[in-house]
Structure 1
């Protein structure tokens, strides 16, 4: 009997990838990355002072956590990222939904939001220091500025993508505008809003080091700036690795939350 089962196409357009292949690919790319890193440092291709080996970075990470109280810096950084992100979401989600639902509100706020999106958040550092001093406020404000305007735009766009048929049906059945927004538009857009939050939380992590070099003595970024003064490249890379791991963990948490809240969106193979 002839087996007519089609062979899997590695480059199939929008094809599916099995769990085994996904796991092997994920492990494989990291194995290649660290293999090249080890080879480059052990063979002398790079300056050891500028690019320390993975072993040195791992040893520096261990020393930071065990002997130098780095855990408190990590917890402070996590607090800053999540508090600032919560503030940004509290403003961006209601405003973005309103802008995506009511053209009159979009006409008011869209020009303002669009202009602020193109302003680099680090350029606000001097004025934030003048306004808020050297405490926590300028750091949180910088992290909020780096996220909020992009998040407003994403939420607005996702709200606009809600099917008009749903809104028209609700209006035909006698729902007022508040019911339409709260019971139809917002629930329909919520899965995409959660995805936008996941994307923008990553943006918050990217601004963390910039926020923590603003007259700061605590946090991952402050540790990295101290290490720079003493040419401790291994500690700088340790801080980068820790931020990457924390960002990856929060990304996984958001994906799990998305699956838990919206199981009906999962594609069954």
Structure 2
């Protein structure tokens, strides 16, 4: 009995971290390693950085640190954006650009996903295709514009081909690397249980690598948007890039910057949609807070 009393009377040796964590009403630190923050913080900080950006931009124009012709203020850019949509039928250009990006990216995925999965699964397929794919990754896509113009003319096929070339080789490599990361124990276990190669590929390799494949698609969709203007500035009569080239002839910098702003907003919108699709398709991967 005395031993039990003495043990209960002994002070507990808790670390400072444990004591502070157990203390009710613990004050949250601003900078903590890999700790989630409230949703209100994420929204507020995201808005704050853009307010600072536009505020510094407006201040630079107001204090005449820059040439207002070459760098108009945010208000003038927004006014130009309103005029483009209301008076210049800019919505049609936006739809044309969205269609080009979506179609070319879908074609790139149709080639890259199956080929990347096979290259990441079977070494013989990788040995055959990888030297070819790796070589194309180091060739700048804009350098093909003269050839594409000669082969396909100035129509949509030339622009779709450029967007396809700029994405597909990198997407194949990313998917291959993600498939290679699938644990070998899963494959060996499925083979031991009597699964055929096709069954293991369909029921083990593809489901295990699919979340990372979607992440690779998100990354490369952003690259596709960066190639959009390059594809549309050459002999284009419609699209965001075509509008920006028309504005360049008359030194309408506000319209050029409005086009850049629209591309950024569209890129964020598509990235958000893919993130939502990822959360819907793989809810079990979401970390619990």
CA distance in 2, matches of 1:164, 1:57: 54
1:33 to 42, 53, 65: 53
Matched, 1:164 2:184: yes
Matched, 1:200 2:242: no
Instruction: Name the Cα RMSD after superposition.
Output: 1.2
Aligned pairs for 1:1-269 (under 5 A) are: 4=23, 6-269=26-289
CA distance in 2, matches of 1:58, 1:116: 40
TM-score by length of 2: 0.90
Structure 1 unaligned residues grouped into runs of 5+ = none
Say which SS state the counterpart of residue 45 (structure 1) adopts.
Answer: coil
Of 39-48 and 70-79, deviating more is: 39-48
CA distance in 2, matches of 1:11, 1:155: 34
How far residue 237 of structure 1 moved from its aligned partner, in angstroms, is 0.3
CA distance in 2, matches of 1:211, 1:133: 13
Q: What is the number of residues matched between the two proteins?
A: 268
Say which SS state the counterpart of residue 245 (structure 1) adopts.
Answer: helix
Query: Which residue number in structure 1 is paired with residue 11 of structure 2?
Result: none
Query: Which residue number in structure 1 is paired with residue 13 of structure 2?
Result: none
TM-score by length of 1: 0.97
Structure 2 unaligned residues grouped into runs of 5+ = 1-19
CA distance in 2, matches of 1:91, 1:264: 28
Say which SS state the counterpart of residue 51 (structure 1) adopts.
Answer: coil
Of 100-109 and 163-172, deviating more is: 163-172
Of 178-187 and 253-262, deviating more is: 178-187
How far residue 35 of structure 1 moved from its aligned partner, in angstroms, is 0.5
